[in-house]
Amino acid sequence: MNRQQIEHFFATLKAANPRPETELQFCSLFELLAAVLLSAQATDLSVNKASRRLFALAPTPARMLALGLCGIEQEIRTIGLFRTKARHLLQTCAILVEQHQGRVPRSREALEALPGVGRKTANVVLNVAFGEPTMAVDTHIFRVANRTGLAPGKTVLAVEQALLKRIPPAYRVDAHHWLILHGRYVCQARQPRCAVCAVSACCDFQPKPPAR
């Protein structure tokens, strides 16, 4: 995809959805961090279902600590890897209370020091909470970037860096959401919906001919 095509790609996605948002539900920075931590290898839908109950009981790190490991596990048991996630969430809450006055830190370094928070989660928090032009490459973004020719790369980090380099500055803050939503609903893993895709004119993908 050349520069002109990339401009067209994002202008088209922006025209269709000027203010793209995460589909995770949250009412505070802490709930955002917790929801993203819970969402690893799980659908946003499954996280929202469980987090509604969890956040009603424990909307702050201190209240989450009071709920305790068993209490958290009980509320999130419908989410994959719930035992590990409950442990990480509890450890993260302890650090937030002890080292950050119960607040979510704004620096990448401090975020990535929290248990269960890797580069991707930090990127989401920095982008959604603080409006930074980060690129949290998940399975959808990785696929769309490679398949379309937007920012091909063999690793998640390579794709992240290529996207940040190739996406025009005007689109960088929202690009992460446009790409996730595009991958989730149009450029789907098994069968991209090219016939109804608004950006097909600037996409490099060559569909395979049907098997005989």
Residues of this chain that bind ligand SF4 (CB under 6 A): 147-148, 186-187, 192-194, 197, 199-200, 203, 205
CB of 164 to ligand SF4, least distance (A): 20
Given the complex with ligand SF4, which of 130 and 185 has the nearer CB atom? 185
Contact 3, 170 (CB under 8 A): no
For ligand SF4, which is the closer residue by CB, 109 or 210?
210
- Least distance (Å) between residue 16 CB and ligand SF4: 13
Q: Which residues contact 119 (CB under 8 A, 6 or more apart)?
A: 112, 157
Verify whether residue 120 is a known catalytic residue: yes
Please state the closest distance from residue 138 (CB atom) to ligand SF4, in A.
Answer: 16
Q: Is 138 labeled as catalytic in the residue annotation?
A: yes
Which single residue is written with the structure tokens 């490459």? 137
- DSSP state letter for 200: G
Q: End-to-end CA distance of the chain: give it in Å, rounded.
A: 30
Closest to ligand SF4 by CB, 119 vs 147, is: 147
Please pick, among 44, 120, 174, 208, the residue that the annotation labels catalytic: 120
Task: With CA atoms as reference, report the closest residue to 6 among 160, 168, 157, 165.
Answer: 168
Q: What stretch of H or E contains 17?
A: none
Active-site choice (85, 138, 165, 208)? 138
- Catalytic (active-site) positions: 120, 138
